[in-house]
Amino acid sequence: MRIFLDANVLFSAAKSDGAVRQLLRLLEKSGHECCVDGYVIEEARRNLVAKAPDRVVVLDGLLSRMTTAGAQRVDAALEASLPLPAKDRPVLSAAIRQRCAALVTGDRTHFGPLYGRTIRGVTIHSPRSLAEALLV
């Protein structure tokens, strides 16, 4: 399964060797494809530089094992139709364009009301719900 990772998932996996990094290991070991794009990479990198600069090298290692989309044209009509704040629309839009079956995000404030919903073929998950759906 193709799974798009939000910036907060990348940040958490790079910052500590905890549950989120373990989830990514298990997904990879189970044959799932983790996908990202420049938008989420830049946000994760920016937050790591500000909060844990020594962990940027860990982020780079994680990214080396993921599918990274190149620069993509913004689809304004698609993004305008998504039930999210403007700053979060590019994340779901990228997951849709990359034909991912799932988007995993820890952003409960903006994505939480969408957890478990499928929008244009992409089911939105928290890290925990994704683990429960795929690995239990």
Give the pLDDT confidence of 29-83 residue by residue, as tens digits. Answer: 999 999 999 999 999 999 999 999 999 999 999 999 999 986 566 666 666 667 7
What is the CATH classification number for the domain harbouring 42? 3.40.50.1010
Find the farthest-apart pair of alpha carbons in the chain and give their distance in angstroms, rounded: 39
Q: Which domain holds residue 41?
A: 2-135
Percent of the chain's residues with pLDDT above 90: 78
pLDDT beyond 90 at 6: yes
- Give the global pTM: 0.92
Buried b (16+ CB within 10 A) or exposed e, 40-79: bbebbbebbeeeeeebeebbeebbeebeebeeeeeeeeeb
| Cα dihedral 73, 64, 46, 16 in deg (nearest 10) | 140
DSSP three-state, residue 101: coil
Looking at the structure of the chain, the number of domains it has is: 1
Mean pLDDT score across all residues of the chain: 91
